[in-house]
Each structure stands twice: as C-alpha cells, then as structure tokens.
C-alpha cells in the first residue's frame, strides 16, 4: 500500500508503523508528487472501506440569521445587504417529507447561530431557543424514526448538546476552520476562540454524537503549515465526518472587501487543486471518515464535485430547502443553488455520480470504523 512521490521514497500510507510524515504531507499538498497517484491511492482506500457508495444527505438550510461576525461568511451578523429568513417547524417538516419520498434517509439541519434558537450561555437553564430547536428535532425524529438527523448550528453549551441528542439528533457538523490560534484570530472577531470551538467538538464526541470537523482551504493567510496543524488536531479528535472546501469570497465581508486579503489568497485553480490534494490526504489518514464533496467544490469548478469523489470523498448533500430561500443562504458569492444542486433533481445527480464511477446510496450511511482502519501521520 504505497505511493511514490517525487523526491520521496515510496512509503506505506495506511498502517500506523508507516504513517505519513509532516514532510511527506507538505510535499503531497504542494504538488511535488504525482497527483494522479495520490488520488488513485485515496480512491483505492475509500473503495476498500465503503466500496463505490456515495451517500446522500438532504440539506435543509433553515435559518440565515447569525449572531456571529466571522470575517469570511456571507451570513455574518454585520451583512446589512442580506435578506434574512427563518423556516418554521411545519416548513422544515415539509422539506423532510419531500426528501423522504425521494429516498433520503438523512436530514441535515444547517443554519447560522440564530439568536431565536440560542441556548443559555452557561447551560444552567433551558432557554426558549433550546426548547424551539429541540421541538423541531423531536418532531422530525417522531415522524421519521428510520432517518438520521444531523445538526450544524454552531457553538452551544454541553447541556444544550445533550438536550438535542436526547431529542433525536445523532450527528453534528462543526467545522473548526483553523486549529492554529493565530490563524483563527485573523478569521474571527475577538469574542470567538478556537479553544471554545474545540471544547464544543470534544463535548459532542463525549456525548455520543457522530462528529464532523473541517475547514476552508486557501483562506487568506493560510499556509501549508496551518493545514498541518489542522491535520494534527483531527488526528487527536478522530472525527467521524470531515468537511472541507475551497475558500470562496463574499463581497459583503471584511475578507471580500479587503484588497490585502484578496492578494494573500490562492487563485481559483490553485484552491481547487489544493482542496483535492487535501481530500486525498484526509482519506488516506482517516479511511473510515464520511467526507462530502461540497457545494463549494461544485461552485469553483463545474466538475468539482465529481473531482472530489475521485479524490476520496463519499458524501454529497443536495439541497432540500425551499427554492425561494436558497439564494439567501449565501455563505459566498455565486453559490450554486438551483438545478442539479437541488435534491429534487435526483436523476441528474445519479447520472453525475455514475459518470465519476460511483453509485448513489440513500440509506442512513453511518460511519464505518473497522479495527484495521488506523490513521497515518507522524510528526
């Protein structure tokens, strides 16, 4: 089980004894090795664990309100040019009913950190926001007991996470964005911290969620050594799901308006290639992980999601949100939000996945952690 990189001897990639070194990872990410061999090895490993299955998740973007002011995000609190929306429970259930009829067995509720659903800051009391969100989760769970509910609603107290788990949520996506404290500070306002983000992830894991971490690739100021920090952090966390995608600017953000930030970033092709290389490295390091080929990949390149699948990804998340609000959940400029991105265009999606050499699977698709799937990385 080896891959040859230019300037580096062939070495096993998936066994603990022959783990990837930092130098080898840096060489792979910088393109010093043949990308075709890297992608082929990642694909071989994903097929060894998951076969040719690509799991569907029905995405419901249920609120674009957010209390945070992250410098890169289009739904940040300070964006006055965004039309805000919040789906009520019956609309969310309607999305689930439509998705269930189309064969979806996992629903992903994603939103900003909406104050309407906010928990008590110290977790000592059950807030109205907690009750509202738990009621939505419990209602979905009661009506669709054979489905998995994934949440992606940001940082909360441990007590709130426990209540949501008791209501029926079993998976939680919370991208850490940057394991490096210095880089994290350049991307977020002072009231946010990587320490609290990591606390949330470890709390979720301890409670019993299947946990997803992840990051943007090619963000202003990010270096390959920052990506190494992310890989080391994820080696410790051992996430069940890993979501990465290329950084894409939004004009109504500090990063989008800053000429200095734009100058620091990679161009579109460089971001695409670095994202694909990192996807492949993640598959080699985390053979068991559920890794989506993201909407951002499809936005940066018309064949981006197919390329992501060929580099090791095994999940796609079509949009079940009502068509009239999809354009308003704009994390970055020019996000694809119609046509084949829609969960309703099931046949279009199946054809695209099949053209890449895989097949759509609509079951719950839990993470597989066989004993032999040990990750590989050495300092």
Instruction: Print the domain residue range for 257.
Output: 50-361
Whether 37 is covered by a domain: the verdict is no
Return the pLDDT at 334.
67
Question: In CATH, what number is assigned to the domain containing residue 187?
Answer: 3.20.20.70
Bridge-partner residues for 245, per DSSP? 216
Return the pLDDT at 259.
66
**Number of neighbours of residue 69 by Cβ within 10 angstroms:** 16
Token readout for 84 is: 């805000």
d(CA 316, CA 189): 31
Return the pLDDT at 263.
59
Per the structure, the count of domains in the chain is: 1
State the SS3 of 269-285. Answer: HHHHHHHHHHHHHHHHH
Return the pLDDT at 283.
97
Collapsing DSSP to helix, strand or coil, 36 comes out as helix
Whether 19 is covered by a domain: the verdict is no
Whether 1 is covered by a domain: the verdict is no
Return the pLDDT at 37.
95
Q: Which residues of the chain have pLDDT under 50?
A: 1-18, 338, 372-376, 379
Whether 11 is covered by a domain: the verdict is no
Comparing CA positions, the residue from 289, 267, 151, 173 lying closest to residue 217 is: 267
Strand order in the sheet with 58-63: 58-63, 106-111, 148-152, 171-173, 210-217, 241-246
State the SS3 of 61-90. Answer: EEECCCCCCCCCCCCCCCCCCCCCCECCHH
Whether 377 is covered by a domain: the verdict is no
Return the pLDDT at 56.
93
Whether 42 is covered by a domain: the verdict is no
Return the pLDDT at 215.
97
Whether 153 is covered by a domain: the verdict is yes
Whether 161 is covered by a domain: the verdict is yes
């Amino acid at each position: 089980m080896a891959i040859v990189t230019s300037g580096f001897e062939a070495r096993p990639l998936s066994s603990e004894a022959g783990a990837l070194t930092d130098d080898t990872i840096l060489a792979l990410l910088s393109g010093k090795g043949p990308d075709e061999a890297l992608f082929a090895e990642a694909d071989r490993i994903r097929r060894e664990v998951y076969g040719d299955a690509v799991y569907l998740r029905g995405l419901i973007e249920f609120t674009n309100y957010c209390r945070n002011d992250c410098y890169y995000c289009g739904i940040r609190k300070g964006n006055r040019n965004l039309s805000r929306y919040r789906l009520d429970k019956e609309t969310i259930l309607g999305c689930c009913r439509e998705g269930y009829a189309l064969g979806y067995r996992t629903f992903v509720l994603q939103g900003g950190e909406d104050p309407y659903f906010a928990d008590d800051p110290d977790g000592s009391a059950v807030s109205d926001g907690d009750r509202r969100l738990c009621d939505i989760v419990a209602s979905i769970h009661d009506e669709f007991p054979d489905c998995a509910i994934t949440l992606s609603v940001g940082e909360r107290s441990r007590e709130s996470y426990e209540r949501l788990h008791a209501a029926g949520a079993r998976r939680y996506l919370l991208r850490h964005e940057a394991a490096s404290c210095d880089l994290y500070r350049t991307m977020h306002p002072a009231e946010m911290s990587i320490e609290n983000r990591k606390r949330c992830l470890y709390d979720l894991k301890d409670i019993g969620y299947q946990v997803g971490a992840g990051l943007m690739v090619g963000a202003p100021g990010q270096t390959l050594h920052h990506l190494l920090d992310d890989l080391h952090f994820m080696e410790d966390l051992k996430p069940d799901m890993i979501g990465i995608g290329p950084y894409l600017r939004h004009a109504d953000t500090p990063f989008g308006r800053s000429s200095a930030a734009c100058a620091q970033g990679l161009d579109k092709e460089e971001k695409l290639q670095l994202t694909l290389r990192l996807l492949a490295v993640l598959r080699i390091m985390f053979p068991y992980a559920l890794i989506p080929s993201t909407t951002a990949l499809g936005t940066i390149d018309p064949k981006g999601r197919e390329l992501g699948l060929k580099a090791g990804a095994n999940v796609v998340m079509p949009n079940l949100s009502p068509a009239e609000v999809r354009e308003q959940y704009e994390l970055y400029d020019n996000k694809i939000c119609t046509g084949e991105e829609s969960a309703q265009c099931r046949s279009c999606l199946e054809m695209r996945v099949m053209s890449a050499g895989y097949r759509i699977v609509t079951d719950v698709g839990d993470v597989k952690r066989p004993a032999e799937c040990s990750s590989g990385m050495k300092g």
